[in-house]
Structure 1
Amino acid sequence: MPLPAIPRRVKIGDAAAFAGITPRAIRHYHAIGLLAEPERGSDDRRRYGYDDMIRLLWIRRMADAGISLDDIRAGFEGATGIEQSLARLEESLASKAAAIEAQRAAVHRLREVGSPLGLLSPLVSSRLHDLPPGALRPADLDTLLVTERIFGPLGAAVQADRFIVLATHPELRAEEDRLAEAEKSLDDTMSPGDPRIEDLAAQRCAHETALAVTIDRSGLDEALDNLLDQEDEHTGEEEGGARMSAMEAIGKMPYDFSPARVRYEERVIELLHPADQDGGTPEAC
C-alpha cells in the first residue's frame, strides 16, 4: 500500500493543526524567541520542517504542564535556575490542588446540607445540621458568616450555641425578636443620651444572660469540646482570603449604626462585662 504524499515542509496552518495550537501562538513563539523563524517559500510564507515540529510539540507539552514560556525558553537554552522554577511550579500546583479539593468539599457540604449553612466551615455546619428546616433564619446565617470571617471557625462554632438555643427555646426566640425590633428604633432621630437606651440595654443584657445560662445548662459547651477533639484539623483551614486580626476585621466591616445605636451597643458590653471597665463597679443587668 503506497504511503500518502509526505511533505518536506508545511505551512503555518498545518503546523499549528498538527501541534494542537493556533497559528497566532506560533507567531508569538517567534516573537519571543522561543521558536526560530523558519525558511520561507517562494510565496514568502513560512514553511516548517521536522525539527520545527518537534520543537512545537515539546513546547505544547511543557505549556500543558503549566511551565511558563519564559521557563520553557530557559530550558531549551540550558540556562541555570530552571530547577528552581520547576520547584516553584510544583508548589503552586500543589496549592491549586488543595484549593480545588477545598472547593469540592464545600460543594459537597452545600449539597448535603441543602442550604447556605453548608458553605460555612465543617466545624460550624456540623454543629447546626441537626436543626429542623427553617430553624436558622437568614439573619442567623449572615451573623455566623461574619463571625467566622472575624474570629474563625472556632469563634463561629461557639456562637452557634446561641442559635441552637434560640431554635429550640421559643420563649427566648420571641424575646430575641422583640429586642431586635426595639433596636430598630435606635435611629438618627434619637439622642445618644436618651434614657430609653439604658432601659433597652438592660433588657438586652438580661436576655443575653438568660441565653448564657441556658447554653450552660444544655451541655452545649461540653458537646463543642468533643467536636473540637474530633475535628481539630479543620480549625483555621477554612478561611478564604488573607488573614487579619479580629480588630482589623471589625474595623473593616461596616454597620449602619446611628450614634444612639452605637451608645446602646457600648452600654450592653459594659453591662455584660463590668469587670473589663477600668475602675468600674460590678453591675447587674
Structure 2
Amino acid sequence: MHASFTPPRQVKIGDAAAFTGSTPRAIRHYHEIGLLPEPERGGDGRRRYEYEDMIRLLWIRRMADAGIALEDIRDAFATGTASAGADDGEGIAGTLERLEETLAEQEAKLRRQRISVRRMRTEGSRTGLLSDFVTERLKDLPEGSLRQADLDSLLVIERIFGPLGAAVHATRFIALATHPALREDSDRIDEAEEALDDSVAVDDPRVARVAAERHAFESALHAVIEESGGDDEALFDAWDTLHPEDGADLGPGGREAGSMSALEAIGKMPYGFSPARLRCMELAEELSAQD
C-alpha cells in the first residue's frame, strides 16, 4: 500500500518558477524591483517559497500576461488593490484604463501595418508602402511606368505634406508615365540641372538657359495635365469625404498631429544642390511668377 502524498510546505525557486509558468531569472528580477518580497533562505543558502509567495507569483504572471507593466503591478500590490474588489481609482483600475488605451493604439498600428502589407502584395512593389490614398491614385498606371525616383519623391513629399499633398503631386508622375515625349524632355532637363554642379558659377549663362528650359517644360506639363482632366479639387473632395474629422487626429493633408511643420521638415531633408543649381531653381520660379 502506497503512502499518502504530502505536499511540501516550501519549494525552491526552480519549482516555484515551473509551477507559475515563470523563470528563476524573472523571479529574481521581481525581488530586485521590490515586486516580490525575498523569502528567507534555507540552511543550504537557497530561497524557499511558501504558499503566499506562490499566490503572488501567479497574480504577477496573470497581470504581466495582460500587458500590465511590472512597475504598475508593484504599485497595485502596494495599494492593496491587486486582488481586491475595491479600487481607489488610481490603483489597478487606472492602470487598466491606460493599458486599454495603449492596446487600442497598438491595434490601430497593427491594422495600418496589415493594410500596408496587403497593398505591397497587391502592387508587388514599393508603391504599397505609400499611403492607401496615394496608392489608389497610381493604381491604373501601366506596370513599370513609374520609376524608383518617382516613388522616392512621393515618399519624401508624403512625409512632409501628408498623403493629400503626395496624391496631388502624383498627378505629375502620372502625366510623365503616360506621355513618353514629356518623360524624355524631363530626363533631358534633369540631366542639364544635374550638370550645374559646384564647378559652375552662379552667373554662368548655362544657369539661365536651363532655368528657361525648366520653365518651358513645366508649362507644357501643366497644359497636358489640364487637358487630361487632372483635377486637384476632386482630390481634395475625396480626401474630405474619407476624413470628415481630419482636424481631430491629423494635420493638414494627413500629417500626424504633433509632427514637424513642412518648413521644419524641408530644413531637415538634405538635397546637396550646388549654388548654381539653386540659382537655376530661383530663376525658373521667377519666370513662373511672371506668367
5+ long unaligned stretches in structure 1: 275-281
1:247 aligned partner: 263
Pick which of 24-33 and 143-152 moved more.
Answer: 24-33
- 1:8-58 superposed Cα distances (whole Å, 9 cap, x missing partner): 221100101111111121122222222122243332321112221111010
Q: Which residue is equivalent to 2:287?
A: 271
CA deviation vs aligned residue, 1:58-110 (integer Å, no higher than 9, x gap): 00111111212222122122265223333222222211221111111111111
SS of the residue 1:38 aligns to: coil
Structure 2 contact 161–255 (Cα < 8 Å) conserved = no
Is 1:210 aligned to residue 224 of structure 2? no
* AA at the equivalent of 2:202: P
Does the 8 Å contact 1:123/1:231 carry over to 2? no
Whether the aligned pair in 2 keeps the contact of 1:122 and 1:234 (CA below 8 Å) is no
Alpha-carbon distance in structure 1 between the residues aligned to 2:45 and 2:239? 72
Amino acid in the other structure paired with 1:224: L
Q: What is the CA deviation profile of residues 201-256 of structure 1, one whole-angstrom value per residue up to 9, with x for unaligned ones? A: 11111111111111111112165356435533697486579611111111111111
CA displacement 1:157-213 (0-9 Å, x = unmatched): 001111111111111111101111111210111110112211111111111111111
Question: Which residue of the other structure, out of 101, 120, 126, is the alignment partner of 2:136?
Answer: 126
Q: Does 1:112 align with 2:127?
A: no
**TM-score, normalising length: structure 2:** 0.87
Answer whether contact 1:123 1:234 (CA < 8 A) is retained.
Answer: no
Which residue matches 1:13?
14
Identity among equivalent pairs (%): 59
Residues 4-153 of structure 1: pairs in structure 2 closer than 5 A: 6-78=7-79, 80=88, 81-82=90-91, 83-153=93-163
Task: From the superposition, tell whether residues 268 and 150 of structure 1 become closer, same or farther in structure 2 (CA, over 3 Å).
Answer: same
The unaligned stretches of length 5 or more in structure 2 are 81-87
| C-alpha distance in structure 1 between counterparts of 2:240 and 2:257, whole Å | 26
Q: Secondary structure at the match of 1:77?
A: helix
**Structure 2 CA distance for aligned equivalents of residues 106 and 162 of structure 1:** 24
> Among 196, 205, 210, which residue is 1:195 paired with?
205
In structure 2, what is the equivalent of residue 224 of structure 1?
A: 235
Letter of the aligned partner of 1:271 in structure 2? L
RMSD (Å), alpha carbons: 2.3
- Distance change (3 Å), C-alpha of 1:36 and 1:225: closer
Kept after mapping to 1: 8 A contact 2:211/2:283: yes
For 1:223 and 1:255, the matched residues in 2 are separated by: 32
Q: Answer whether contact 2:20 2:54 (CA < 8 A) is retained.
A: yes
User: What residue number does 2:84 align with?
Assistant: none
1:185 maps to amino acid: A
Asked if structure 1 preserves the Cα contact closer than 8 Å seen for 2:164 and 2:235, the reply is: no
Letter of the aligned partner of 1:11 in structure 2?
K
| SS, match of residue 9 in structure 1 | coil
Whether the aligned pair in 1 keeps the contact of 2:164 and 2:236 (CA below 8 Å) is: no
Corresponding position of 1:277? none
| Residues in 1 aligned to 2:202 and 2:279: alpha-carbon distance in whole angstroms | 6
Cα–Cα, structure 1 residues 53 and 68, in superposed 2: closer, same or farther, change >3 Å?
Answer: same
Aligned residue identity for 1:87: E
